[in-house]
Amino acid sequence: MSALLAAQEIEVGYGDMPVVRGVSLEVRRGEAVAVIGPNGAGKTTLFKAIAGMLAPRSGGILFDGARIDGLRHYELVKRGVVYVPAERELFPQMSVLENIELGAYTNYKSRAERLKFVLRVFPRLEERKRQMAGTLSGGEQQMLAVGRGLMAKPKILLLDEPSTGLSPHFVSEMYRQLARLKAEGLTILLAEQQIPHALAFAERAYVLENGEIRLFGPSTELLGNPDIQRAYLGMA
């Protein structure tokens, strides 16, 4: 299986401070890969670099065989890289429907079918479609953010902390929908602090600590790793 996305020894920082150092990872087609690690490990910075919101200081990022580091995010959307940040970044005074439709900006004319698909995946959004996005609950906003991202026909979906601030019920529902999307061929890279869901969902995971990859491998292996168990799963 070829890697759809690969980061090679990338270093990302703000000003003088490197936040992510020498990180290499890859995501193969159709896989779900998780990046786990504590707060401040650099997960968001890493994702921003991969998504083109930040330029890496060194190293390269490859997508579908081509170098994408240095390109801005809006150029990557057309290529199939869709990023859903932890802050969601919705349009608060626009309706749910308008938010979703704008997600299809890169293929706007043919958005109708995609819209039907997304509204099937997230029926709650269909119910609320005329509501202002700013008035939705946290869970609904997360669904909207993912739904908007899906409208761009992504080849890979980058999800940063999709379960933050969501009730357990919403988290389960969201991962259920993600599993469904994965089954239909979507490649997913997600960053999570909530380990159990992430490792249950993703086949492989990378552990990011202090800006560096500490550990990586199949999720089942990591779950059985005593260090991981102690640090992240609260088991003695």
Partner 1 sequence: MIAILIDGTVQGLQLALMAVGITLIFGLGGVLNLAQGQFAVVGGIVAALCINAGMHPVAACVLGILSAGVFGLVVDRTLLIPAYRCAGEERLLLGLLITLGLSFVVNGFMDYKYSDISLSLRLATPSFDVAGISIRTASAAVAAIAILAFALLFAFLKATLLGKVIRSIIQNEVGAELCGINPARIRTVIVVLSAMMAGLGGIAQGLFSSLGPEMGNGLTDYALIVAVVGGVRSINGTLAAGVLLGIVNAFASYYVGAYLTLIILLGTAVFTILLRPAGLFASRS
Residue ranges binding partner 1 (CB under 8 A): 53, 72-75, 77-78, 82-85, 87, 89-94, 98, 101-106, 108, 134, 148-149, 152
Which residue lies nearer to partner 1 by CB, 47 or 232?
47
Which residue lies nearer to partner 1 by CB, 98 or 212?
98
Which residue lies nearer to partner 1 by CB, 75 or 227?
75
Which residue lies nearer to partner 1 by CB, 83 or 170?
83
Question: Could you tell me the smallest distance in angstroms from the CB atom of residue 133 to partner 1?
Answer: 9
Question: Could you tell me the smallest distance in angstroms from the CB atom of residue 151 to partner 1?
Answer: 8
Cβ count near 219 (within 10 Å): 20
Cα–Cα distances in Å, from 71 out to 52, 54, 62, 129, 149?
Answer: 6, 9, 11, 33, 19
Which residue lies nearer to partner 1 by CB, 43 or 148?
148
Question: Could you tell me the smallest distance in angstroms from the CB atom of residue 105 to partner 1?
Answer: 5
User: Largest alpha-carbon pair distance within the chain?
Assistant: 55
Give me 66's structure tokens.
Answer: 């081509």
Cβ count near 234 (within 10 Å): 8
Question: Could you tell me the smallest distance in angstroms from the CB atom of residue 102 to partner 1?
Answer: 5
Which residue lies nearer to partner 1 by CB, 100 or 228?
100
Kindly give, in sequence order, each residue whose CB lies less than 8 Å from that of residue 45, ignoring residues fewer than 6 positions away. Answer: 12, 13, 14, 19, 20, 54, 211
Distance (Å, whole) CA 154 – CA 22: 27
Question: Could you tell me the smallest distance in angstroms from the CB atom of residue 77 to partner 1?
Answer: 3
Question: Could you tell me the smallest distance in angstroms from the CB atom of residue 106 to partner 1?
Answer: 4
Query: What single DSSP character describes residue 224?
Result: H
Task: Report which of 129, 160, 141, 177 is spatially closest to residue 51, judged by C-alpha positions.
Answer: 160
Q: Is 58 exposed, middle or buried (0-12, 13-18, 19+ CB in 10 A)?
A: middle
